[in-house]
Structure formats: C-alpha cells, structure tokens
Chains A and B, each alone.
Chain A
Amino acid sequence: MSTDTVTLPRTEFASRPVVSRLHDWVTTVDHKRLGILYILYALVFLVIAGIEAMIIRIQLIRPHNDFVSPQVFNRMFTMHGTTMIFFVVMPVLFGFANYLIPLMIGARDMAFPRLNAFSFWMTAFGGLLLYFSLVGANGLYGAGNAPDVGWFAYAPLTSRTFSVGHSTDFWTLALLVSGFGSIGTAINIVSTILCMRCPGMTLAKMPLFAWLNLIMAGLVILAVSPLTAAQIMLLVDRYLGGHFFDTQAGGSAVIWMHFFWIFGHPEVYVLVLPAFAFVSEIVPVFSRKPIFGYSVMVGATVAIGFISMSVWAHHMFTVGMGANVNTFFVLSTMAIAVPTGIKIFNWLATMWGGKIEFKTPMLFCIAFLFQFLAAGLTGVMLSVAPFNWHLGNSYFVVAHFHYVIVGGILFALFGAFYYWFPKMSGKMYSETLGKLHFWLFILGFHLTFDFMHIPGLLGMPRRIYTYEPGRGWDMWNFIVTIGVFFQAAGILVFLINLLWSYFRGKAAGSDPWDAWTLEWSTSSPPPAYNFSSIPVIRSRRPLWDLKHPADPDWNYE
C-alpha cells in the first residue's frame, strides 16, 4: 500500500457544468458521498436547531420575559429537541458510519448502495416535512405552526382534542418517514459489517468503530420500530377515530409513554455508541497506544446494548407504576452504569503510559472523558427513583441529557470532524481555529450546562416559557443564557474553519495522524473504488503492522 500522494490537476473537473455535478451528488449511491450529504444536512439543521435554542434561552434570561409568546416558546422547545435528535445527531452519525465503515473494513461500498441513497433521501425528506409545518400546519392559510407537543409528544396532549390543526401530524409523519430511513441505514450497516469484511478481518479483528456501529444499528432496528408502531397508532387515533391513547374510551396515556420510551431510551444509546466509536479510534492514535482491553470494550458494548432495552421506564418514575416496577427499573438502570463506567476506565488506561498529543481531535476527546464522567454520574443520581421524583421533569434532567449529548456526543463529534476532515477533504484544517473553537465552546458549554443543574435542584420544572421571580432561579438562568453565546461563537469558528480549510487548507496526505486503521491507507480523499485491491489483514491495526514489521500486533493479540 503506497502512501505517496498524487495530486491530479482539478481543471478537468472544474469545467463540468454545475448542473451536472449537482446531478451526480443527487443521484449518488457512493457511501462516501452519501456520508458527506448526511453530514452537511446535519450541519444545516444544527444551525437551525441552535437558533431555536437561543430563542428559548433568551426568553428565559429573566423571569416574566416577553421575548416570545408561550405558543412560540412551546414550538421552539419541541422543534429544538426533535430537530437535534432526528435531523442533526442521527444523520451526522449515520454520515460518519456510512463514510468510514466500508473504508475501515476494507470494502468498496456498503452492502446496499441504492438502499443507502433511499435512506438518506427519506431522512432528508422527513426533516423538510417537519419544517414545512411552519407554513403548512394550518393549511397554507396564513402562517402555519410547528408542533408544540414536546419532542416526546405525550398522549392525550397529541389527540385531536388538545392538538388542533395539523402541527402534530407533521411531527408524526416527519418522524415516521425519517424512521424508515434510519431503519434502512441500520439494515445496511448490519449487512455490510457482517458480510463484507476483508479477508483476515474476523469480527474480533475489526476496528471498535465497526463494532460500536454494528451494535448501534442493531439498536436502531429494535428501537426505532416501536416508535414507528406508536406513530401509526397515533395516526389511527387522529384520523381513523381509533382509541389507542383515548383515555375517554378506556385507552391509556401511559401506554404511549411505554411505547415511546421503549424507543427513547435505546435511542440515546444509538446516539452515544457512535460517539464512543469516535473516542475509541481517536484516543489510541493520539496516545500512541492501542485501545486498552479491546475484548472488554466489545463485551461492555454488547452488554450496554442488551441492558438498554430494559431500562426505559426510568423516564416514568413519577407516572405511578407502583413500587415494585419502580424498583426493577432502578436496578436495570444502575446495572447499565457498570459497563459504561468500564469503558471510561479503558479509555483512561489507553492514555495511561502513552505520549499524548494535544491536537484538536484529542482535545475534544479529553473533554469528552471528563464531561461524560459527570454526565454518567448525574445519570446515576437520576436512576435513584426517589431522587428522580424531584429531579425528573426538572432542569436537572435537561442539564443531564445536554451534558451527555453536547458534552459527550457533540464533543466527540467535533473530535471526529477534525480527525477525519483531512481524509474526507484532502486538506488539513487550521489547528489555531480548531483550538479557538475548542476553548470558546468549552467555556460556553460549562457556563450553560454546569449551572443549569442548579435551578433543577431549586425546583424549576422544564418546558416552562417563563418563571416566577422569588424562586431563586433568576441568576442561574441568566448565566445559562450567557453561555449559549459562547457556544454559538464556537460553532461559527468551527464552520469557518471547515469552509476555509476546504478551499485553502494544506494538502493532508493519506495519513496525517500516523494512524493504524485501513482508511488511512487510501488517498485523501479516497478514490471512488476505495482500494485498488482488497486488503488482507492479520491484526486489529493493519497499518501498525506495516509500519512496524519487526513488531507486528498479531504477535500480541
């Protein structure tokens, strides 16, 4: 495998008409292009959902503020949550999975390239459908409205009685449609990883990135489907006069909660496992050591996958399921903390005794480790049901899950962006701008989400468009809001870095990080066919073996 880079003159490409090049992108079935489409799509919605968050926080900067009306506020938090989960984090993670999995396992593409394209466009359409509600929900007669039922849309608030017009239908259909896309991608990932690994790459030799995405895909298949079922039931209720969640006809509001959280909890593991995947690839390379305890990491992830299907009702501790049911879910939720904690220790042990390089990807991953530790521990607090009877549905929970999703997943994502940007674009990003992004964002993150725990502890519930003065919440809300502007600045720097580096960055070469997995053996960006000949491997770090022929990994594994 040659590591020479050959720069082709780009003139022959520049002369093709724009329409032609756009057509290529729209009709592509290449996993790398679809990956980039997913990522770009997610970045657009990141900005939109970020603006929604800013509106929320500006409204809450002081009590009895009137920046937006309660109706608008309720739409903002609904859209912010729904967009971030379904049209930012899931697409961007699918994007990275699509781009990297075939490269890492030595394949030329995903198992089903056309299904891949179909899944992307379904997801994309779902997002557009959700935002069409802004004009369409009242039937195009004047401005419509966005859904305002919260991202988990509890019954009976979503029945036609309490949700008039079509805003809830847009929520339901958008997620139904993008759900098909998610399941399609998951089927693709499972089939690709199980069937298309290059010779020599047994399951025990594939990168942790592949393992974690395999389990994530399994969770998508098992968890998004219940949401699909619940959405169908909701539509039956709203349009065919059904009574699934109709409490007046003897139906149960609680059963919607069960169905939703049977999806909702594994969903957060769908979001976090790929983040673990990023960290598991980046930390070893920048510590210059292999991942500590590969088999245990795999085992812990499988355990997390299984246990995650049994903890859902810890979102329902206050619903009145009875002491015995509450106790069971306390146990299962605490149990899942064990394999999760093990992973943190393994990452710590990977760094231990290494030679850590503080490049931007590693900075974000180190922050991830500290922040995910804190997030996991507030999760343990929340698993204690009686404590949850206070903390649930309060700003403590909001702080906790943002700590996981922003402090954990988004930080790992930023690490991934910086780590694989050279591979995807062929250019190096600006390290200075990267570090500026890091420091701005980490300051804003901690200002906002550290202090957000406090109003929760002082009795502030979530999803309120305003609050009473004299409850002791004012100063904390103010600080929380200030942090948002630093985060916005960080994101701005990030986007500028991506754009500027794409056009003006230095050539990256195929392996700027001296890394060890197969994607670094291709050019940057890789050719359409990925590998001129399918690699044959013998260990988990094929490039380490090539670079250290006297001391290959297969002697030790």
Chain B
Amino acid sequence: MSQLVVLICGAGTALADAAQPLSPTNIFAPASTPARSIFGLSLFVLAITGAIFLIVFALLLYSVVRFRRRKNDDGREPPQVYGSNQVELAWTIIPILIVVALFMATARVIALVQKTSPPSNAIAVTAIGHQFWWEYRYPDLGVVTANELHLPVSDPVHPTPTFIQLLSADTDHSFWVPRLGGKTDLIPNHPNTMWIDPQGTGVYLGQCAQYCGTQHAKMLLRVYVQSKDDFDRWIEQQRRPASMNDTVSQGREIFETTACINCHTVSGTVASGRFGPDLTHLMSRDTIAAGAVPNTPENLRLWIRKPDAIKPGSLMPAMQLSEQQLDALTAYLETLR
C-alpha cells in the first residue's frame, strides 16, 4: 500500500514537472500549498474515476461484442432475466464505499484550504474586482496599485503566505491563478478570503473566471512573486508619491484639467478618482488594460485615443484629444514610474 502511495506521489511529481511547459496556467503544475493540496487530491480522484471508467468501459465493450446477434442465429429469444437482488446489492454497496472514501479525502482538503487563519507574518492584500480590471490594496503597507499583484516568495520551511480579501465594486468576478490555487469569486456585498503561498519566484498568469460583462475575457491576472528584498523594494517604490517632472508639465496639465482625474488617481496631485486604476506608478507595470497589451508608449497612446481598438466594450472612454495633446499626455504618463 505504501508503495502504491509512493508510486502515485512519484507519478504526481513527474506529472507536475511535465505539465509545466504545457501551459503557464496548468492546474497540474502547482506552485503553492493550496494548489498542491488540490493537486494531490485530484490525483486520488483521477485514479479512482479512471479505474471505474476502465472497468465499466471494458464490461460494456465486452457485452456489446460477446452478446451481439450472430448471423447464424436461430431466432429464439434469449433467456429472459428479470433481475437479481444480490447483484444489485453488490453494485450498490461498492459505490457507496467509494463515495465514503472520496468524501473523506475531500473534506480533509476543504478544511485545510478553507479553515486556515492567517499567521502573524502573513501579507494582507485586498483585491477589488472592477469591470474589467483588478485593484490591489496592501492595507498594512499603504500601497494601492492595479492589475499586477506583487508578492514575496514563501519559503516552504518558514511560510509567509498572502491572505487576499476579495471584494467587488460592481458585478461578480473570480480570481483564478491556477498554479497558485483554486478560484474564489469576488461578489459585491459578500467579502471572500483566500490564501496562497507561492514557493517559486516568477510571473504567474491567470484571468477572471466569472462572466462579468463584455470584456470579461481580457481581465487578465499577473502575479509577480519576488524575493523578499525585491518585494520590499517594490513596496518602497509604490509608496512614493508620483514623480514630478517639469519637462512633461504640458501633459500633466492636460491630465489634470480633463476628465482623467474623475476616474484615476495620481497620488500627490489633484487626480483622486477611484473608478479606474491608480496610475501613480503606471510605468512600473509590464502591461496595461489589465494585461490586454504590453505597456509601450504606442499602446498607451492608442488606449487613450481609442480604447475600443484594444478592448472593445471596456469602460475607458475615448478621450477626445488632438494628436498633439495625446503626445504630451503620453509623455507625461511615461514619467509615472
């Protein structure tokens, strides 16, 4: 029996290793404790259901082949069998036992994932779902950002998990980064909590997994797991107010005198809107429009001029600005590191 367990674990690890290059969002390539627990359970479930499938499939195939009417059939009806209580009992009891085993394994993992309270060194993040972007707040660290979540890597020996409180500003959303954990929904007026402890540095991908409107498909998730030092540096940078650069004062003036400030915040300026992402450190992000396109000056300019070209149906309005205004504005935004 223990050899079987070792075999399954070994197969599981091999599977996880093989799975990784297949896809950056492969549920069989866990990199965090909740994901790993689910992975282990899923192997158990797959083994059981796989065995049931093979057995019943074989029986069905056999019966269809063995009991087909032959060409030289004599035309008589076969023995008319109406039932058998013993057989019925057998194939009721065995499934019940299988259900009991599955249920107990499942209940264990549910408790493990959903009945854990945050340790004192946990990172606290509040994620707020919007149509169609992610707002992240680090309440203890005084940081507000958008779309790209940065976390410190967690040492399996001394874990530093992140506990994420999930809220929504409008419709239902769902946070799903498969390699880090199962999905949890963000529902207005119904706060949820989830936790992850990513065990390897890198960028983990995912996307919104609850239909939330027109651009549900491009509400992408990027989780940057960094070493403790890198993470602290990032926090430090995010805490600073917006950089003020005189060379782009024209652009800043356009920003601060148009509707931009109604939706966006640039800390240290008059812009304090909260409908759209915080732009204070826009240039510290690799992508814009919740991962839709890379954060390049061309894309940024296009996004402001004609958001529908990138993400049709998003709530960013096309700013009716002249080409010259757009150039100045983009130049200003490019300084927001």
Chain B's interface size range is: 35 or more
- The distance in angstroms between the C-alpha atoms of A471 and B207, with both chains bound, is 11
- The distance in angstroms between the C-alpha atoms of A250 and B190, with both chains bound, is 10
Q: Is the CB of B82 within 8 A of A290?
A: yes
Question: Chain B, 22-35, contact with A by CB distance < 8 Å: what is the 0/1 string?
Answer: 11111110000000
Given contacts A331-B103, A370-B57, contact A354 B78 (CB under 8 A): yes
1/0 contact trace for B200-225 toward A, CB 8 Å?
Answer: 00000111111111111110100000
Complex CA–CA separation, A371 to B252 (angstroms): 62
With contacts A162-B170, A290-B80, A320-B187 taken as known, whether A70 is within 8 angstroms of B313 at the C-beta atoms is yes
| Contact partners of A290 in chain B: CB under 8 A | 80-82
Contacts of A462 in B (CB 8 A): 211
- With A157-B213, A293-B84, A331-B103 known as contacts, the answer to whether A355 contacts B73 (CB < 8 A) is yes
What per-residue 1/0 map shows which CB atoms of A298-339 lie under 8 Å from chain B? 000000000000000000001110110011001100110110
> Which A residues lie within 8 Å of B107 (CB)?
327, 330
Give the CA-CA distance A71 to B182 in the complex, in Å: 28
Answer yes or no: A74 CB below 8 A from chain B CBs.
Answer: yes
Which residues of B from 256 to 281 have beta carbons under 8 Å from A? none
A362 to B183, CA, bound (A): 42
- Given A287-B67, A370-B60, A471-B23, A323:B114 Cβ within 8 A: yes
Q: In the complex, are the beta carbons of B213 and A334 less than 8 A apart?
A: no
A387 touches B45 (CB 8 A): yes
Check if A69 is an interface residue, CB within 8 A of chain B: yes
Cβ–Cβ < 8 Å partners of B46 in chain A: 381
Complex partner residue of A289 from B78, B88, B109, B183, CB under 8 angstroms:
B78
| Contact, CB under 8 Å: A458 / B23 | yes
Using Cβ atoms and an 8 Å threshold, which residues of chain A touch B24?
459, 470-472
Looking at B38, B78, B115, B185, the one whose CB has the most chain A CB atoms below 10 A away is: B185
CB-nearest residue of chain A relative to B184?
Answer: A318
The answer on a CB contact under 8 Å between B189 and A247 is yes
Tell me, yes or no, whether A421 is within 8 Å of chain B by CB: no
Are B215 and A70 within 8 A (Cβ)?
Answer: yes
B171 contacts which chain A residues (CB < 8 A)? 154, 156-157, 162
Bound CA span A414–B300, Å: 54
Find chain B residues with CB under 8 A from A356 CB. 63-64, 67-69
Is A394's beta carbon under 8 Å from chain B?
Answer: yes
Contacts of A466 in B (CB 8 A): 217-218
Looking at the assembled complex, report how far the CB atom of A197 sits from the nearest CB atom of chain B, in whole angstroms. 21
Find chain B residues with CB under 8 A from A247 CB. Answer: 188-190
A368 to chain B, nearest CB (A): 11
A 252-284 binary contact with B (CB < 8 Å = 1; else 0): 111000000000000000000000000000000
Q: From A344-352, A423-431, A493-501, give the one contacting chain B.
A: A344-352
Instruction: Decide yes or no whether A86 CB sits under 8 A from chain B.
Output: no
B134 at interface, CB cutoff 8 A: no
Q: Flag whether B295 is at the interface (Cβ < 8 A).
A: no
- What 0/1 readout, one digit per residue, does chain B (208-250) give for beta carbons within 8 Å of chain A? 1111111111101000000000000000000000000000000
The 3 closest A-B pairs by CB, nearest first: A389-B182, A459-B25, A472-B23
Q: Name A's B-contacting residues (CB within 8 A).
A: 69-71, 74, 148, 150, 154, 156-157, 161-162, 247-248, 250-254, 287-290, 292-296, 318-320, 322-323, 326-327, 330-331, 334-335, 337-338, 341-342, 344-346, 348-349, 351-358, 366, 369-370, 373-374, 377-378, 380-381, 384-394, 457-468, 470-473, 548, 553, 556-557
